[in-house]
Structure 1
Amino acid sequence: MLVDDPDDPRSREVGLDFPREWIEFVDPADAKHVVRADLTWLLSRWTCIFGRGCHGIVAGRAADGCCSHGAFFTDGDDEKRVRAAVKRLTPETWQHFRRGFKNWTENDTIDGKNPARRTATRAADAPCVFLNDADFPGGGGCALHAQALRDGVHPLEYKPDVCWQLPIRRDQDWHKRPDNTKVLISTLAEFDRRGWGAGGHDLDWWCTSSTDAHVGAEPMYISYGPELTALIGAPAYAKLAELCAARLRQGQVAPHPATEA
């Protein structure tokens, strides 16, 4: 959603279609695993600016960040991991404390047909139940994220998959090659507005396209190293980091326009 009003933060979002650089390599630990990575995105200086200028995805609710809706679980393992993390929360650390799995989750649907469970919202049209208000004595922001930091672990160990993976999009597909061999291709790309489906174009603001969020001190492949490692494995991440560093030394052909602005 591009606008011309310079006072509107959406005016600082770049378009979705621009040249990108890609790299493809075989996972050093698995010859049947091929990684395709968007270097334009991973070499960008995007960083999360929640609470530091984030405009939020719903108009008038900047404090929500991207937590304005519940987070769908990807599978049983995701659900089990979050369940364990929730047990570590208390009324002092979770503003909207609720006991019992069914009290902090809701049944919904992603495709309009099949049921899917997600984290609950505080009420209809309210943010995720795990989002503490900024003035909450126990700390504002995601209660699960804060608990992970208190426990000395990375937030990806406590938060739903969709929450810690954003704004990286990983797609995986088995591909049959001309010689009839098969490889699993993991594609790492920017989770832009299109990543949300048709509804992504209706978000009031989205950070990956905004110059406001391309202010990181390090390129994404470094700042999101733990997340990338979780997505493709340590050996593959080490190779990816090596290739990203080499590309930076050589100079990019297609840098991200939001970083360059």
Structure 2
Amino acid sequence: MDPAPTPPADHVEVADGDVTWRFERSFLTSRWTCIWGQGCKGILDRPAPELMQGCCSVGAELDGAEEGAQISAYAAMLEPHLFQHHAEAEAGGVFGDDRKLSTRVVDGACIFLNRPGFAGGAGCALHIAAVEVDEPPLEWKPSVCWQLPLKVDWAEGTTPDSEVATVRGWTRADWNEEGDEMAWCCTEEPEPYVGDRPVVESLAEELTAMVGTEVYVELRRRLADPA
């Protein structure tokens, strides 16, 4: 883990025990909002809003074996009327590797992505199923999926047991080599900055899950009163 650089002026810091959270003020106060299905051009090498794939053109990278087991359990609960690729999942599983650390790609996108026109609804089958049983979708989905467009960079702190976690907007560079080929990256284009609330409010549930309630409340206070 690399040492954390000095925080730029654009960042807000909140200490939480051995972890110092740094938040990118400009993104969290921006009006970015997900426009999936409303003009999102996806992450392919050409703009493809008609496919409604969003960031699901690749399989989700899972955060270890525990998350893999969790996704497997939720996938087993999906009914065919909500999961377009239910038959493919039964035949070949939902994972794209033997270690079960990524979701499988079927017909050019994540196996969990219901395509436009599917009777059970387009979009993530895990998300749709969670909503149907009145549970938070972020509990059902891979963490990378519900965290986007937020990214956390971890670095060493100033003492041996301390860490610095920087929460910022995801960028094209975070897609690594795939980012060079993407025709469009939603956080770097003007179209998604049309939300009716700042990101710190619209993604309150996601931010709270990432940093905890106390840190989130303090973040809100500091963004409202920088002094």
TM-score range, shorter chain: 0.7 to 0.9
Shift of 1:20: 6.7
- The one-letter code matched in structure 1 to 2:207 is L
1:222 is matched with 201
Q: Does 1:246 align with 2:225?
A: yes
Structure 2: stretches of 5+ with no match in the other structure:
1-7
Match of 1:91 among 37, 62, 80: 80
Shift of 1:60: 5.1
Q: Does 1:56 align with 2:46?
A: no
Distance 2:47 2:194 in 1: 23
Shift of 1:82: 1.4
Match of 2:103 among 115, 119, 123: 119
Shift of 1:75: 1.0
Structure 1 contact 20–40 (Cα < 8 Å) conserved: no
Distance 1:80 1:244 in 2: 37
Structure 2 contact 157–163 (Cα < 8 Å) conserved: yes
2:3 is matched with none
- Per the alignment, do residues 152 and 116 of structure 1 end up closer, same or farther by CA in structure 2, a change over 3 Å counting? closer
Identity %: 34
Match of 1:69 among 35, 58, 69: 58
Distance 2:9 2:48 in 1: 32
Match of 1:138 among 113, 116, 120: 120
Structure 2 contact 72–94 (Cα < 8 Å) conserved: no
> Normalized against structure 1, the TM-score is what?
0.77
- The one-letter code matched in structure 2 to 1:42 is L
Larger radius of gyration: 1
1:105 is matched with 95
Task: Find the residue that maps to 1:64 and give its secondary structure.
Answer: coil
Task: Find the residue that maps to 2:39 and give its secondary structure.
Answer: coil
Distance 1:43 1:202 in 2: 29
1:253 is matched with none
Shift of 1:136: 0.6
Distance 1:101 1:173 in 2: 41
2:5 is matched with none
Distance 2:29 2:114 in 1: 32
Task: Find the residue that maps to 2:223 and give its secondary structure.
Answer: helix
Question: Between Structure 1 and Structure 2, how many residues are aligned?
Answer: 216
Q: Does 1:202 align with 2:189?
A: no
Q: 1:160-206: per-residue Cα shift (whole Å, max 9, x none)?
A: 111111110012233234xxx63221110111111112431221111
Q: 1:49-96: per-residue Cα shift (whole Å, max 9, x none)?
A: 000111111125322111111111111222122122212211111011
Structure 1: stretches of 5+ with no match in the other structure:
1-18, 109-114, 251-261
